[in-house]
Amino acid sequence: MGERMQFTELDQYLFGQATHYDLYKKLGAHPVSYGRQKGVYFAVWAPNAQYVSVIGEFNDWDTQANPMEKAGPIGVFQVFVPGAREGQLYKFYIVGMHGEELYKADPYANAAEMRPGTASRITDISSYKWNDGVWMKNRPRFNEKKDAMAIYEVHPGSWMKHPSTEDNREGFFNYREFGEMLAKYVKEMGYTHVELMGIAEHPFDGSWGYQVTGYYAPTSRYGTPQDFKYMVDYLHRQKIGVILDWVPAHFPKDAHGLANFDGTAVYEHEDPRQGEHPDWGTKIYNYGRPEVKNFLIANALFWIEECHVDGLRVDAVASMLYLDYGKSDGQWVANKYGGNENLEAIEFFKHLNTVVLGRNHGTVMIAEESTAWPKVTGKAEDGGLGFSLKWNMGWMNDFLEYMKLDPYFRKDNHNKMTFAITYAYSEKYVLVLSHDEVVHLKCSMLSKMPGELEDKFKNLKAGYTFMMGHPGKKLLFMGQDFGQLREWSEERELDWFLLQEKEHRDLQSFVKDLLYIYRKYPAVHATDNDPQGFEWINADDAYRSIFSFVRKSPTKRNNLLFICNFTPVARPDYRVGVPRLKQYTQLMDENGRTGKKVFRAVKQECDNRPYSFAYPLPAYGIAIFQY
């Protein structure tokens, strides 16, 4: 074997320490030349295999044609196959410890064939020429604690589709055209980031990409890895950040995947009480095994460093932290101290986040963590998990419970909207209205709202205004900004035809105006983690179901006052207490941005404050004032 491509003793040492951070450049399939011979170098980790060979279109899938040799005690097998070339399909043929014959896709493959096929595809991902140099140069300056983050969550396969044709029955857009159309929409609306679901290769569309078989391969549903890189590149050139959903919590049992990889539990725990999710029917990673940790950490780095992605939203973090997650007594094993904390997963997160964020300033790691686990966004050296941000599931649950209520009953549930402020600064939060809230009979955001259709629109506008003013970064799932009526389904595109109707266009325009104010005024994004940046004017107006509060700018200029009325009762004589004897310029009402009407505060006590001004507040009315 030539000098340039082999799994060396140093590679083995780093792999065994979980610190081989560019492992994907050594394992997998890599087109290379040795002298005049062009071919492909293959390497795979199968520590307990008796025999491994690579089979594919280059050798007629012959299990004896290209046997692989063991590179050392860690269990990596490698071979150079002359004549193998880019575009060809392949798998690893493995004779397991007990004589099992296994046909496995490459865990480190950068491309796969279109489902229902399960083979990996040889590709050269290093050939793409990037054009996002300005974005990448500026990326380290991004600070998620202070900068605006309005995230548009998107499932590419169902955002918009082509009409079905013989060549493209499912109507999927290619990554390139999807990226260009998405960028146009996101820029028009004013989101700062997109978060993409279901990018890593997965066999079943109905899993939405949360049951991954190809961690290093952008799904072939929408094109090649080069097409994927073009999409990221294009979004960056349009000044849009890219976040991917990432799933290190579990993996499916598909025969070609990671489960029982060499006839033994390689990636998962052998004991099913540690290695399986009974509710999900999936395998749990063995976070205590260095090579498994390395597989996942190098994968996070692959997306961020190789594919220029700006952050990862880590799925199902709670299921990793708790050994008894979703399990009954007898279905789980306690840690060495007798507790239910997964000590190995905790160490994994500290290692992962420290390395990813330490090497890539300006990127983010976001935890989807649904419990009150402490210090999720705390520093690893202080006993935290080291994430940049955490989804605020508590806020989301309380907010939706309140918004679904008939307005008559809201006065008895007023605290659902105020409670989140009591813990708003315990973590660095993202307020989320995600895909999870508009599936499985939960209704779309518009359909959750009470009343006739006209009332639903007014309720949703008031709700979105409250969300935009509340501390925390923002995330909204596709379709909810124009009032999608049906629940989301991965099988069809969004109901874009609704935008032919005035109410839906008005809602979309209203969200656009909210996003403009969110981006323009540091008061609503630069002080998310500073308790001095938020102050209730009146948190106790339960009888009228009105909330008033201020968001303060770090410079003390351009502060914002928010008022939200959550009942269909107009208050023509509404008076609001204010912090200062100043002018208050109205930027927005329930119809969108206004022509800057000015109200002057007077010396009149209201809301326990010496100053106030009167303002006619309509039914379901909202107001944002700048002072």
Residue 224 CB coordination number (10 Å) = 21
Q: Which residues does residue 609 pair with via DSSP β-bridges, in sequence order? A: 606
Respond yes or no: is residue 315 known to be catalytic: yes
**Residue 466 CB: number of other CB atoms within 10 A?**
20
Cα radius of gyration (the chain): 27
- 3-state SS, residue 587: strand
> How are strands ordered across the β-sheet holding 69-70?
28-34, 37-45, 76-82, 69-70
Across the beta sheet with 602-606, the strand order is: 575-578, 609-614, 602-606
Dist CA 288 CA 397 (whole Å):
34
What lies within 8 Å, CB to CB, of 336 at 6+ separation is 343
Amino acid at 605: E
**Residues 541-578, buried b or exposed e (16+ Cβ, 10 A)?**
bbebbbbbbbbbbeeeebbbbbbbbbbbeebeebbbbb
Does the annotation count 276 as an active-site position? no
Strand duo 150-154 + 193-196: pairing = parallel
Of 245, 368, 369, 528, the active-site residue reads 368
312-338 burial code (b ≥16 CB/10 A, e <16): bbbbbbbbbbbbbbebeeeebeeeeee
Calpha distance 301→20 (Å, rounded): 11
The catalytic residue among 315, 369, 398, 528 is 315
Among the residues of 302-383, which ranges form H helices?
317-321, 343-359
CA angle (532 as vertex; 460, 577 as ends), nearest 5:
60
- DSSP, residue by residue, 234-268: HHHHTT-EEEEEE--S-B---TTSSTTTTSS-SSB
Q: Nearest CA to 199 among 180, 181, 216, 176?
A: 216
Contact 296, 285 (CB under 8 A): yes
Give the CB-side neighbour count of residue 627, counting CA atoms within 13 A. Answer: 23
The residues annotated as belonging to the active site are 315, 368
